[in-house]
Structure 1
Amino acid sequence: MTPTLSDGPNIGSALKAVREHQHLSLESVAEDTRIRRAYLAAIEEGRLEALPSRPFTIGYIRAYARALGLDGEAAVERFRTEEPAPDQALREPLGVQEGRDPRLMLGAVALALIVAAIVLWNVVQRLMIEPTAPATVTVAATAQAKTAPSTPQSAAVALGAPLPPPIESTTPPLYETPGLEAATAAGDGSADSAEAALKAQKAAAAAAPKVEAVPTESLPATFTAQGAVYGGPAETSPVVLQARKPASIIVRGADGTVYFARQLAAGESYRAPALAGLTVDVSEPEAFQVFVGGQTKGLLPAAQTPIGKFAQ
């Protein structure tokens, strides 16, 4: 008589009877189903504790029945009838042991020690900085402190008068437009009067005879650049004004146009362009040496001088 899925006390014995009737070994069934031989033997013997979780067991029974040419769903249905799903959680797959990682325990202990050390350190620091109770000062002690002679350390230190601030050597003197004060005083104080007086002064300076720079024996005879040279090229500018010390210089045209205005340092020079009607205004005439064609003409004779007089 051919065995069926209904034979035997459980589904495992029924599958075993069918396998033996077909003269199949567990090894051949395991090779066909790709299921471990130990799991197939546990199914046949009803040792569910040796199997993985319930979903895996159901899949193994279905594959085992189909490998024998039986109805896999019928085999699963009988297994569910014989072994209803328990209310407890499914067992973990074999090979997985339940337990806590010892590294987590070590980390928790280390963290607790660190927290305890921080709390203890704060408590000690607070105890160390707490103010002590103020000492009671008696009337006698106060009187004694008042009558006690002062020590040399507590004597007043005599301070001298404050020193004046240092002079800023790099600050140039304030520039005042030459002739502005006289031009303003000559008229009624208005801008028109000042401009008219300034024009009259320029006309008088232009009509004056040839101006010669004051020669000085100690001045260099020829021009040698000792700093930056501003102005036009040497080929078209024969007149050169070289600063002997820091001073300001303004060069204007006949129409009042400003061609150059700068605070020159000692050694810096200005080469005047070959233009008619140029006038130079300086803060200190003796601070500038005049060179024409590279030869000295002495120092500037006045704060305001027509440049064209040197080229004549």
Structure 2
Amino acid sequence: MALDAGQAPDEFKAHPDWKDIAPSIAESVTLGDGLRRARESSGKSLADLSAETKVHSRFLTALEQNDWSSLPSRVFAIGYVRGYAAALGLDEQLAVERFKRDSPDTSAPLKAPIGIAFEDVKRYSPRIIAVVAVAALAIVGWNVFQRINLMKAPRASDIAAVPESWTLGDVPGQNGLIDLSAPRAAPLDQTTPALYITPGLEAQLTGIDPNDPAVLAATAAANNAPVQKAFNPRGAVYGAPATASQVVIQAKKAGALVVRLGDGQALFARQMAAGEAWRAPMGVSATIDVSDPAAFDVYLNGEHGGILPAVLTPLAQLNSRAEQAARQVAEDQARRVAQAQAVRAAQQAAQPAPPPVAATN
């Protein structure tokens, strides 16, 4: 790096090609004057320095004219000063220091001397503490005053006498204790609504009056079988349609249900959740395989028929039970109708014959 001493030995000055060295940057009035005088002494133009330093000539002109506002950010400006000084053989660090002195950095805020701010706080702290204490005492005193004003002295009740209904013991108008009977058994689970019969229609079709006490007694005597709980879907129902099935298997709790055909092929297989059901098709030879027979209810023709009898249950057995139950219901219905018709015929036979109507001339 070239030294910018500003002086040269006498033996160098005696040489015919000697040129006076440019004054030092430190001795120049401004940085721009020192850079301009050094460039003029070197015989270089701004265009030559711009090509050498790769800095635009307008930025080099701004440096020579001390026009710091035309320069880019401070980091780039310092780089331009360093490159300019290196191209002219000047001391780069000295040029940068001169630039920082001529163009101080104003971006950093000035800070107060250490100790002044603390002295201000220390000076006013007693006043601040006193104001805060007075405000706190005022708030506490106001709350205490409000509570004292709201306090009332205890006084006697306005009720002259205690009502009789408030006293413990017998209730007025009630002489003895209430006796409760034992709880009754819960009714049978039946969700199927009763069949609606148009008044008078049954009598016209069957010749039996459903309101006749004798008919009702005969029907009640014939219908002694209790009605079982009906099938109530509580989840997804798989399998055959409702019109093509007489057997429904419903899961009371989670369990596996697999239905296999005679050749071993699986007709239905699923891990059933509680409430899900499967309708068995009619006329299919298959075997029902379950993980737990007690976890599945069997419904025959819509009525509860117990649980599965075993882990492996032939489907034909359940369909046969359903058909037998359907035939039994049909036979019971026909028997009730026949009994009702017999009672009706007996009543009509017991009635006296109407007197003959006399012919009139």
Q: TM-score range by the shorter chain?
A: 0.3 to 0.5
Larger RCO (alpha carbons 8 Å, 6+ apart) = 1
TM-score (norm 1): 0.33
Q: TM-score under structure 2 normalisation? A: 0.29
